[in-house]
Amino acid sequence: LDPNFAANGYYYIFYTANSPLRDRVSRFTASGNTTVPGSELVVWQDNVDAGFWHHGGTVAFGPDGKLYISTGDHFDGNPGPAHVSQRLDSYHGKILRVNSDGTVPTNNPFYDGAGPNLDAIWALGLRNPYRFSFDPPSGRMYIGDVGSNSIYTSIEELNLGVAGANYGWPICEGTCTTAGMTNPFFSYAHNGRDACITAGFVYHGTQF
């Protein structure tokens, strides 16, 4: 929901359109319990056709009033720096940051105007960050990044969202010694099954 939903009725959805076959974030306008016909405004859309897997899909407003979007790597098989998650000319494997109307803030870390970078990119090096959340009391972003399919090396990551951070995929998983990479806040071995990270919410109570 838009931070001003009570006044403007705006809500935002991440979905994969059929034609063109693109991942998309759109704004719609609610009226009571229905949606105003024809109210869709495309806020962001991928520039290439969608793959079968790893679409990401979370949208959330940050404390700064900007809209953040997580995108997966669409199961790209290229190694190292050639991988879409490491490239600034691909939206895949990223956290994006846009204004609520789809324009791009000029203070995004890789903003270069007419240059080759996709200006909406805020952080990179992620595999499939299909869930992230903001912790309201601290304002911190927690990103759950799902580990690889390997039964031997798969590491699930909980990353702190930082502007301009490179979380390493596919160069490394978990704690990484490669220069320029941001290590996870917390990580654990997937162990081949039943341990996929989903991120979530920070508990501030005293019950547990």
Neighbours of 208 (CB within 10 A): 4
Q: Name which of 164, 168, 165 is nearest 148 in CA terms.
A: 168
Cα of first residue to Cα of last residue in the chain, in angstroms, is 30
How would you class 45 by CB atoms within 10 Å of its CB: exposed for 0-12, middle for 13-18, buried for 19 or more? middle
Q: How far apart are CA 81 and CA 179, in angstroms?
A: 13
User: Per-residue pLDDT for the chain (208 aa), expressed as one digit of tens each?
Assistant: 999 999 999 999 999 999 999 999 999 999 999 999 999 999 999 999 999 999 999 999 999 999 999 999 999 989 889 999 999 999 999 999 999 999 999 999 999 999 999 999 999 999 999 999 999 999 999 999 998 877 556 899 999 999 999 999 999 999 999 999 999 999 998 776 678 888 878 889 999 7
Whole-number Å distance between alpha carbons of 83 and 66: 27
